[in-house]
Amino acid sequence: MVERIDVKQMTMMDSPAINFGSTYAEVLKQEKDRGFTIVEKQNKGQILATKKNDMATTEFVYYFDKKGVYKLLESHISNKNALQVITTLLVNNYKLIENTSSTVNNTVRLFNNDKYAVATYEIDSRYGFIIGEKDDSNNSWTRQNTLQDNATNIWMPTLGQFAPQITMEIFEYAQGHTINNELTKKDNGVFVFNTNSPRFPHVKYWFDITEKSFLEETAIFIDKDNRPTPVELNSWLNKLGFKQTISVDNNNNPLYFNEENKCIALLEMNQPSNNTTFEPKVQFFFGDLTDKLPAENIQMPMPILTFNTYTMAEAVEEYKKESYYVSSTPHDYGMLINTNSEEFKSILIMEDGGKYAMAFLLAETVQVINSPEIPEILIQNGFEEKNVGAIPTFINKSTDVMAQIDKTGAFGSYSVAFSKNEF
């Protein structure tokens, strides 16, 4: 049996099917069988179903994702039916969300229950409502939560992949935002909204070039004199499931990646040298940076930290006692300790004044040297991070040893370098 939201009792309209997850073919057939006039739109991305009777005209738009899965229902209604639809929702135990807002020309009310998210709207004299499965995850088409950060108040604009324009309008107008007609280029699928927030003055949306109907990118702009710190943005994005990758853009801005949703966040916080009209922003779009994520679950062998005591031969004998030791081979700069770690297969040890003085854990890849687990392992072994130079530096006070994480190859390769403390 097809589940429906019952609006017929008070509006005399037919009730739409809300069997979300159905295929395009299934929805098409069920509405044809009910006697609806069908118009297929947007390359099978939408089905417009219309039926007239003596009491009312019913018009539904069924929206589908790129895989042909039914995601969202929109119903166009008349002004006289708008209040009745709201009443129907309330008597059917849909809760009105408190942050519902309105502007001069637009009113949006958000409702939900345990299963569905609903929004009624009056936008530029258009009346209607949308309904979809309740889902406040980052890239949901029906997200009602702004995912606002408590520390900075930055939020994530709606970004349901290939979602229709109505989802953008609902999300923006529900917050009381207004469209910026000067910056908006509807013919190009570009929409800009003013937010009334001095720190985050506007948001921008990009729809597909061909149809101008499928959401692809969004960005929230930031006052250049009041930018959140990298630490604050990192914390917020981590909470949303994003991890910093090893990639940066041409201006050394970091890219973050949500592996589950294949969503990328670009933090454009650095002003280009040739751009005087710079506007910082966090831009979200879709792509795959899986191979750019730092390594996880690494095995990092801790070297022998007794420096300036052993000869090189004695140091090798000490390494032989370690569980990770496999073999040792001569090297132009000292000796290589070969290990059983997949991430650090070799430790280059070097001497100074005839004594074992330095150890370099040689990372196999740039993903390894950027692993967030390296600082954690150092801290677990008694090191503390110190702001003493361009290279991330950790110092163990009890052993008077320092460790430096060379992410750029300044020491000749990606490595974690250990030696006596110089600071």
Question: How many helices (H) and strands (E) are present in the chain, helices listed first?
Answer: 8, 25
pLDDT at 103: 64
Q: How far is CA 21 from the centre of its chain?
A: 24
Label residue 107 by pLDDT band (50, 70, 90). Answer: confident
**pLDDT value at 8 more than 60:** no
Q: Could you tell me if 320 and 282 lie in one domain? A: no
Q: How far, in Å, CA of 389 to CA of 236, rounded? A: 27
pLDDT at 5: 55
pLDDT at 55: 63
**pLDDT value at 220 more than 50:** yes
Q: Could you tell me if 404 and 368 lie in one domain? A: yes
End-to-end C-alpha distance for the chain, whole angstroms: 74
Q: How far, in Å, CA of 366 to CA of 414, rounded? A: 7
**pLDDT value at 106 more than 90:** no
pLDDT at 11: 43
DSSP per-residue string spanning 50-86? EEE-SS-EEEEEEEE-TTSBEEEEEEEE-HHHHHHHH
For 152-200, how does the pLDDT look when each residue is reduced to its tens digit (9 = 90+)? 999 999 999 999 999 999 999 999 999 999 999 999 999 999 999 999 9
**pLDDT value at 15 more than 50:** yes
| Domain assignment of residue 148, yes or no | no
Q: Could you tell me if 186 and 242 lie in one domain? A: yes
For 257-289, how does the pLDDT look when each residue is reduced to its tens digit (9 = 90+)? 999 999 999 999 998 877 668 899 999 999 999
Q: Could you tell me if 18 and 124 lie in one domain? A: yes
| Domain assignment of residue 140, yes or no | no
pLDDT at 28: 93
Reported pTM: 0.84
| Domain assignment of residue 151, yes or no | no
Contact 60, 73 (CB under 8 A): yes
Domain end residue (candidates: 292, 324, 352): 292
Local structure of 263: helix, strand or coil: strand
Q: How far, in Å, CA of 248 to CA of 402, rounded? A: 28
| Domain assignment of residue 125, yes or no | yes
| Domain assignment of residue 150, yes or no | no
Q: Could you tell me if 282 and 385 lie in one domain? A: no
Q: Could you tell me if 37 and 94 lie in one domain? A: yes
pLDDT at 210: 86
Give the structural domain span for 43. Answer: 8-133
Query: Which amino acid, residue 6?
Result: D
Q: Could you tell me if 17 and 122 lie in one domain? A: yes
Q: Could you tell me if 41 and 126 lie in one domain? A: yes
**pLDDT value at 2 more than 60:** no
| Domain assignment of residue 389, yes or no | yes
| Domain assignment of residue 363, yes or no | yes
> What's the chain's average pLDDT?
90
Domain end residue (candidates: 260, 292, 324): 292
**pLDDT value at 4 more than 80:** no
Residue 88 in tokens:
């129907």
Closest-CA residue to 416 (of 393, 383, 386, 398): 393
| Domain assignment of residue 306, yes or no | no
pLDDT at 246: 93
Query: Which amino acid, residue 131?
Result: I
Q: Could you tell me if 16 and 114 lie in one domain? A: yes
| Count of the separate structural domains present in the chain | 3
pLDDT at 3: 58
